[in-house]
């Protein structure tokens, strides 16, 4: 089990649905990330929050909407997705954004949400 | 453009073999190099390397960084079937982490 918890583990949604992915960490980390991973590909950065503020948006389509209600929670709201958005969505956290000033701040990943868009 | 390249892309070995996985990087404002193991789900953290020439070890796994030549290697000795996974390396810019395409390792009994 990881210290970053993601729900749900699996999600099947139609192209007109609205759903949300949730992520929670209680390690006191101040940076949280959303990654998208397609089969046999590396994780691809979507968003970074640092101290609850959006720091990086990697030109992600607006049908993906992130939200960071507090330092422990990160949501990803989904609306009007396309079948090509089907992927494993990984949440991660680190003590500070990037490796941090202390050079000891690796990413800790959750187990991911396997999303299928029909 | 920031880039992390891993080789080989895939590798099949027998139990007991020793393997070396390679990671080269061109990352702006490089701060550290990280290695992860990914089985079915979440990548799990293995090593974070910040200094050249200092080997980090954990059991049968070890890794070293060469900041002059911009590469890192991950060694696994006496491989076991449980080592079968995708091994990812990532370059840290202090702002975000850039992942390589991974090396898929299969260890057969």
**Over the stretch B42-99, which tens digit does the pLDDT of each residue have?**
899 999 998 788 899 999 999 999 989 899 999 999 999 999 999 999 998 888 899 9
Residue owning tokens 């396997």: A114
- Residue A90 near chain B (CB below 8 Å): yes
- Report DSSP state, residue A25: E
Q: How far apart are CA B104 and CA A13, in angstroms?
A: 30
B44 sits in which H/E element: strand B43-49
A1: pLDDT strictly greater than 60: no
- Residue A89 near chain B (CB below 8 Å): no
* Confidence at residue A97, expressed as pLDDT on a 0 to 100 scale: 83
Share of chain B residues as helix, strand and coil, in percent rounded to the nearest 5: 5, 60, 40
* Confidence at residue B96, expressed as pLDDT on a 0 to 100 scale: 85
* Confidence at residue B28, expressed as pLDDT on a 0 to 100 scale: 84
What confidence category does residue B30 fall into, taking pLDDT thresholds of 50, 70 and 90? Answer: confident
What confidence category does residue A103 fall into, taking pLDDT thresholds of 50, 70 and 90? Answer: low
* Confidence at residue A43, expressed as pLDDT on a 0 to 100 scale: 93
The distance of B17 to chain A (nearest Cα, Å) reads 24
| Alpha carbon A114 to its chain's center | 12
Q: How far apart are CA A70 and CA A115, in angstroms?
A: 24
Of B41, B94, B101, the CB nearest to A99: B94
* Confidence at residue A101, expressed as pLDDT on a 0 to 100 scale: 58
Q: How far apart are CA B82 and CA B107, in angstroms?
A: 8
Which residues on A lie below 8 Å from B93 (Cβ)? 98
Residue owning tokens 């503020």: A53
Pairing, β A113-117 against β A10-13: parallel
Q: How far apart are CA A7 and CA A32, in angstroms?
A: 15
- SS3 for A83? helix
pLDDT tens column, A16-55: 899 999 999 999 999 999 999 999 899 999 999 999 999 9
CB contact under 8 A, B42 and A41: no
- Disruptive mutation site among B2, B5, B42 for chain A (greatest number of A CBs within 10 Å): B42
Q: Are B74 and B46 in contact (CB under 8 A)?
A: yes
Q: How far apart are CA A75 and CA A65, in angstroms?
A: 8
What confidence category does residue A100 fall into, taking pLDDT thresholds of 50, 70 and 90? Answer: low
* Confidence at residue A52, expressed as pLDDT on a 0 to 100 scale: 95
Which residues on B lie below 8 Å from A4 (Cβ)? 42
């Amino acid at each position: 089990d990881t210290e970053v918890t993601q729900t749900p583990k699996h999600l099947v949604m139609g192209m007109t649905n609205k759903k949300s992915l949730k992520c929670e960490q209680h390690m006191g980390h101040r940076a949280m990330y959303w990654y998208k991973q397609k089969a046999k590909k590396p994780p691809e950065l979507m968003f970074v929050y640092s101290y609850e503020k959006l720091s990086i948006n990697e030109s992600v389509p607006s049908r993906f909407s992130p939200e960071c209600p507090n330092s422990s929670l990160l949501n990803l709201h989904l609306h009007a997705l396309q079948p090509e958005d089907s992927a494993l969505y990984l949440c991660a956290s680190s003590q500070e954004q990037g490796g941090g000033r202390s050079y000891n701040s690796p990413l800790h990943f959750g187990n991911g949400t396997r999303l299928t868009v029909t | 453009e920031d880039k992390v390249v891993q080789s080989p892309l895939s590798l099949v070995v027998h139990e007991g073999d020793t393997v070396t996985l390679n990671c080269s990087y061109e990352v702006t404002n490089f701060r550290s190099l990280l290695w992860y193991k990914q089985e079915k789900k979440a990548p799990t953290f293995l090593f974070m390397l910040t200094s050249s020439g200092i080997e980090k070890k954990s059991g049968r796994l070890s890794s070293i960084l060469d900041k002059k030549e911009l590469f890192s290697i991950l060694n696994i000795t006496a491989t076991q079937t449980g080592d079968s996974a995708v091994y990812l390396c990532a370059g840290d810019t202090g702002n975000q982490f850039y992942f390589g395409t991974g090396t898929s390792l299969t260890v057969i009994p």
